[in-house]
C-alpha cells in the first residue's frame, strides 16, 4: 500500500471556515506537513487531530521532503497545509507536491479558503478572467517588469504583499498604471478586523502611507479592459550601440539592455564588451 498526500486548505483566520472534509482528513492522516508547526498545532488541537507535525517551509532541505516521501512509501497518508488558505498558492508547499508527484504517489486536493478568490469576490472588479502574480520582488528589473505587466493587463490582477511594504507597492503601482486606476486593498480577510477599501491607486497609496496597514494584505488592481499591444523588443546589438553613442558606461548599457530586451545580465555584459 502507498500513502496519499492530501493538499488541505485551512482557514484564512476564522476557524469556522474549516470544511468538514478538511477536518476529517486532518484527523485521519498520520502526519501533517506544515509551513509553521507552531501555527498549525492549535488548529489540529481544536479539531482533535493527533497527527504528527512535519516542518516543510521555504528553506527546508531535501531531507525534510524525503521524510514525507518515506511516510508515503510506508503506506501512511500525509496532509499538506499552509499557515492560512490553500497550500502551494504562492507558498513553498509546491516543492513538496512536485517531489511527491515525481515519485508517483497520489495527490488529492481538499479545497477550501484562498485569499485570491476571497479578495476577488468582494472587490467588485471583473473576475471572469484574472491574473495572479503573488508577491512581487522587492526591487530590481524583475519588479519593474511585473509592474509593467500589471499596467498592461487586460484583466484584473491580484497581488499579495506584506503590510510593511504595502504603501510602497501601491505607490509603484500608481506610477506604473496611472494614479486613477481603480484598485481594492483587502486586509485581514475573515478575521475580526477585516477591512476592504476601494479607490484609485493614488488614493489608496496616500491612505496607507499615512496609516500603514496591519495583517495579511491582498491587492486587486483593475485591468485595462483592452488587449495589450505586443511591442517588438529592440534588437540588443543595435540598442547597445545607440546607448553607447550617448556616452553611457558599459555597465549602465548592459543593465539597460537586460531590462529592455529580456536577455540575461551576463549576456548583456558580454554583448557590450564585444562591441
**Bridge-partner residues for 80, per DSSP?**
7, 33
Residue that has been written with the C-alpha cell 479545497 in this structure: 111
Write down the pLDDT at residue 265: 85
pTM over 0.85: no
Report CA-CA distances (Å) from 107 to 3, 94, 124, 260.
Answer: 9, 12, 34, 41
What residues have CB less than 8 Å from 243, skipping those under 6 apart?
Answer: 252, 253, 256, 257
pLDDT tens-digit map of 8-38: 999 999 999 999 999 999 999 999 999 999 9
Statement: residue 92 has pLDDT above 70: yes
> Domains in the chain and their CATH numbers?
4-113 (3.40.1010.10), 116-221 (3.30.950.10), 236-274 (no CATH)
pLDDT digits (tens, 9 = 90+) for 105-138: 999 999 999 999 999 999 999 999 999 999 999 9
Side-chain-side CA neighbours of 214 within 13 Å: the count stands at 4
Cβ neighbours for 240, distance < 8 A, ≥ 6 positions apart: 253, 257, 268, 271, 272, 275
pLDDT over 70 (residue 231) = no
175-209 pLDDT, tens digit each = 999 999 999 999 999 999 999 999 999 999 999 99
- Residue 263: what pLDDT? 82
Summarize pLDDT for 148-172 with one digit per residue, the tens.
999 999 999 999 999 999 999 999 9
Amino acid at each position: 500500500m502507498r500513502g496519499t498526500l492530501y493538499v488541505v486548505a485551512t482557514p484564512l483566520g476564522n476557524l469556522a471556515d474549516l470544511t468538514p472534509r478538511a477536518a476529517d482528513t486532518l484527523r485521519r492522516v498520520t502526519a501533517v506537513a506544515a509551513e509553521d508547526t507552531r501555527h498549525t498545532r492549535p488548529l489540529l488541537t481544536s479539531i482533535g487531530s493527533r497527527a504528527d507535525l512535519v516542518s516543510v517551509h521555504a528553506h527546508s532541505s531535501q531531507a525534510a521532503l524525503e521524510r514525507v516521501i518515506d511516510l508515503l512509501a510506508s503506506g501512511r497518508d500525509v496532509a499538506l497545509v499552509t499557515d492560512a488558505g490553500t497550500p502551494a498558492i504562492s507558498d513553498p508547499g509546491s516543492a513538496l507536491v512536485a517531489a511527491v508527484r515525481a515519485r508517483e504517489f497520489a495527490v488529492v486536493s481538499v479545497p477550501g479558503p484562498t485569499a485570491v478568490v476571497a479578495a476577488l469576490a468582494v472587490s467588485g472588479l471583473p473576475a471572469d478572467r484574472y491574473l495572479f502574480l503573488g508577491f512581487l520582488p522587492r526591487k530590481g528589473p524583475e519588479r519593474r517588469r511585473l509592474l509593467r505587466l500589471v499596467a498592461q493587463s487586460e484583466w484584473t490582477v491580484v497581488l499579495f504583499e506584506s503590510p510593511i511594504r504595502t504603501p510602497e507597492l501601491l505607490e509603484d503601482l500608481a506610477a506604473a498604471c496611472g494614479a486613477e486606476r481603480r484598485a481594492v486593498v483587502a486586509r485581514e480577510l475573515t478575521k475580526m478586523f477585516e477591512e476592504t477599501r476601494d479607490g484609485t491607486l493614488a488614493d489608496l497609496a496616500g491612505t496607507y502611507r499615512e496609516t500603514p496597514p496591519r495583517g495579511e494584505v491582498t491587492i486587486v488592481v483593475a485591468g485595462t479592459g483592452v488587449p495589450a499591444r505586443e511591442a517588438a523588443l529592440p534588437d540588443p546589438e543595435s540598442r547597445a550601440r545607440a546607448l553607447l553613442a550617448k556616452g553611457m558606461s558599459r555597465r549602465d548599457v548592459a543593465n539597460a539592455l537586460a531590462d529592455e530586451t529580456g536577455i540575461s545580465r551576463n549576456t548583456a555584459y558580454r554583448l557590450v564588451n564585444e562591441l
